[in-house]
């Protein structure tokens, strides 16, 4: 029997199952049920774009919580735009995943190019979502980091580190689906971890937890944000 971290809150009936959620909105509502009564009513949700935005929309609506974005983007391989070996956060934090770097060969030039392209993407997303408005002041607030899933954990690891630099009261991690190994790897950096669908095994894809899955376009992400969460 596999040991689960003590700070993990999940749904046992959903463990090691696929096709649990119809889409990201449905996943957010299921996640809201898991968090209901478990988090401070003054908590601020931080959505990780782009896939985390629709999940956070549903979560914030259900729990009536304030929301902002934590813009973090993975640094992807030149030959695979879906897989990443590091991430860049909106505050300029850059981290490479040494576990992955030890298994692949990348030149120094490829790494520098990847970091530069990802930094530009993060800056563009921040401006598209916030305009000239600064991020919310998170000092002394309880924070909930939200994404649509946790695969390698690289992006969320950098998000957690960025938030830890902001003098928050506490930080919770909330994702609809995650690999158990990734929760073990980064889970102790959060006060609590909420995950409806925990899976294990050699093969894992966030998309497998969803019946309907497609990338969230930049336009759709900005539309969701503008409609529901953009500050006046």
Q: Which pLDDT belongs to residue 101?
A: 76
Quote the number of domains for the chain. 1
* Inside any domain, residue 82: no
- Confirm whether 89 is domain-assigned: no
Give the percent of the chain with pLDDT over 90.
58
Residue 102 has pLDDT above 70, yes or no: yes
pTM, rounded to two decimals: 0.88
**DSSP notation for the chain:** -----TTEEE-GGGTT-SS-BSSHHHHHHHHHHHHTTTS-TT-EEEE-TTTHHHHHHHHHHHHT-EEEE--EEEEEETTEEEEEEEEEETTS-EEE-HHHHTTS---HHHHHHHHHHHHHHHHHHHHHHHTTPPPP--TT-EEEEE-S-BSS-HHHHHHHHHHHTTT-SEEEEEEEEEEHHHHHHHGGGSSEEEEEEEE-SS---GGGGBSS-----HHHHHHHHHHHT---
Report yes or no on 194 lying in a domain: yes
Q: What is the predicted pLDDT for the residue at 152?
A: 82
**Residue span of the structural domain in which 26 resides:** 8-71+138-228
The pLDDT of residue 75 is above 80: yes
Residues 183-194 pLDDT 10s: 999 989 999 999
Position 130 in a domain:
no
Average pLDDT over residues 195-206: 93
Q: For residue 18, is it within any domain?
A: yes
Does a structural domain hold residue 107?
A: no
Q: Domain containing 220 — which CATH number?
A: 3.40.50.2020
Tell me if 92 is assigned to some domain: no
Residue 24 lies inside a defined structural domain of this protein: yes
């Amino acid at each position: 029997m596999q040991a689960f971290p003590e700070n993990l809150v999940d749904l046992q009936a959903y463990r090691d199952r696929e096709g649990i959620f119809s889409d990201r909105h449905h996943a957010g509502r299921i996640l809201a049920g898991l968090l209901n009564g478990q988090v401070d009513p003054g908590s601020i949700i931080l959505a990780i774009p782009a896939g985390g935005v629709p999940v956070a929309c549903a979560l914030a609506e259900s729990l009536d919580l304030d929301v902002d974005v934590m813009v973090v983007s993975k640094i992807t391989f030149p030959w695979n735009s879906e897989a990443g070996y590091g991430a860049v956060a909106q505050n300029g934090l850059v981290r490479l995943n040494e576990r992955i770097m030890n298994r692949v060969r990348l030149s120094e030039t490829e790494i520098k190019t990847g970091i530069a392209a990802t930094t530009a993407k993060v800056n563009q997303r921040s401006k598209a979502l916030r305009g000239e408005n600064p991020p919310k002041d998170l000092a002394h607030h309880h924070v909930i980091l939200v994404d649509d899933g946790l695969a390698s954990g690289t992006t969320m690891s950098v998000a957690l580190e960025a938030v830890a630099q902001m003098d928050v009261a506490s930080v919770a991690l909330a994702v609809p689906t995650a690999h158990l190994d990734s929760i073990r790897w980064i889970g102790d950096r959060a006060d609590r971890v909420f995950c409806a669908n925990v899976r294990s095994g050699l093969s894992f894809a966030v998309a497998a937890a969803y019946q309907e899955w497609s990338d969230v376009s930049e336009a759709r992400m900005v539309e969701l944000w503008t409609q529901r969460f953009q500050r006046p």
